[in-house]
Amino acid sequence: MSQLVQPHGGKGLKPLLAPATERAAEVARAKKLKQILMSSKETSDVLMLSMGAYTPLDGFMGRDDWHSVCADMKLKNGLFWPIPITLTADQALADSIGAGEEVALVDEESGTVMAIMQVNEKFALSDADKAFEAQHVYTTTDVKHPGVQKVNEQKAVALAGPISVIDEGAFPSQFADLYQRPAEARAAFTEKGWSKVAAFQTRNPMHRSHEYLAKIAIEVTDGVYIHQVLGKLKAGDIPAETRTKAIQAMIDGYFVPGTVIQAGYPIEMRYAGPREALFHALIRQNFGCSHLIVGRDHAGVGDYYGPFDAQHIFDKLWPGALETVPLKIDITFYCSKCMGMATAKTCPHDKQYQVNISGTKQREMLTAGEDIPPEFSRPEVVKVLQEYYKNLD
């Protein structure tokens, strides 16, 4: 009998998607309400709330929760939460909304009415507030950091209150074989008899280092949940359609059947490094995963974070903050003397024998049309990626 970790907060999953029988009427009602246009990040958060991935939140955060999350990684009630979830609007629109008034949340890119929100609180987000959030969550106020850019792009006033989601957008149909809600993931794990499940977070196709991390996890758990980002990425990242094909080629050729589930979820990356690693663990707890694989520079970007900062931050948590724990693994590489993948803990040889593998390096090689050696990536994976880059010309 499968016994999975409990959803965050210990009171069961809290999906905010309205019942199917009510959605058509709610969409019609929403069109008569004031409309709040959402950025891609805010739309992504609505989708995560919809499926229960942000359990136990019931909507967007008020000022007390926002401040406490930024400063202390906990909600005002003391529950662990490392990343603020906020929605913003222009000053004039915010001023027109009365206390307790319902508004429609609309994806600005597609024009789709996604949710109805009851606005219970409004609070200003000044430039000083944005700098406060950036420094605490991202440890930098550098405007070149993509996460800091998103913080600075927020509008003048944050709106807080519970939401009811009435449209899940395009992801469920666009990625019908991949899109999985927490309840569905938990059902899949239970069906397989898995209790210990390791999540592998990725926004990149998986090269040999990623494959090695996943196989280490399989050795110590019941199976691995390769859980990839379907939401908006930074420029230059490989789109989900191509990434999915490449990962599946690796799974089909190099993993024992029944040890891996590949799925996707609609989050938009923040690139917050250590804080985002904690956030990924919290979300995976809601999905039923007991472990999160945390390797080198998890959820980082550029040189803003040290290679193991995302591992060390878990040591700073208080008892009971999270049930899902990190599976910390050293930097991996291919050793020509060992004739296989290794880490500094398992390989005694000099660095001259090591082939260091990274997604950034692989993208550079593919862009330049260079051959990818088998020590770097599996040929079946390379074939999928080369086809994608060839069509970019």
Rounded distance between C-alpha atoms, residue 381 and residue 362, angstroms = 11
Q: Exposed, middle or buried: residue 235 (CB in 10 Å: 0-12, 13-18, 19+)?
A: exposed
Q: What share of the chain is helix, strand, coil (3-state, %, to 5)?
A: 40, 20, 45
Q: Residue 255 has which token pair?
A: 């993993």
Only one residue has tokens 């709106």, namely: 159
Q: Which of 204, 270, 286, 296 is catalytic?
A: 204
Residue 328 CB partners (closer than 8 Å, separation 6+): 294, 311, 314
Rounded distance between C-alpha atoms, residue 51 and residue 386, angstroms = 34
Q: Are 50 and 16 in contact (CB under 8 A)?
A: yes
Q: Residue 249 has which token pair?
A: 């080629």
Report the sign of the C-alpha dihedral through residues 84, 87, 90, 96, in that order. Answer: negative
- The question of whether 120 is a catalytic residue gets the answer no
Q: Which of 23, 77, 152, 203 is catalytic?
A: 203
Q: Are 202 and 147 in contact (CB under 8 A)?
A: no
Q: Which SS3 state, helix, strand or coil, does residue 334 take?
A: strand
Q: Residue 151 has which token pair?
A: 């913080």
Alpha helices in 125-207 (DSSP H): 127-133, 146-152, 171-174, 182-192
Q: Are 280 and 234 in contact (CB under 8 A)?
A: no
- Whether omega before 56 lies within 30 degrees of 0, making that bond cis, reads yes
Smallest CA-to-CA distance from 322 within 4, 3, 1, 10 is with: 10
CA-angle at 200, arms to 237 and 134, nearest 5°: 60
- The question of whether 204 is a catalytic residue gets the answer yes
Q: Are 382 and 362 in contact (CB under 8 A)?
A: no
Q: Are 224 and 259 in contact (CB under 8 A)?
A: yes
Bridge partners of 358? none
Rounded distance between C-alpha atoms, residue 340 and residue 346, angstroms = 11
Q: Which SS3 state, helix, strand or coil, does residue 131 take?
A: helix
Which residues belong to the active site? 203-204
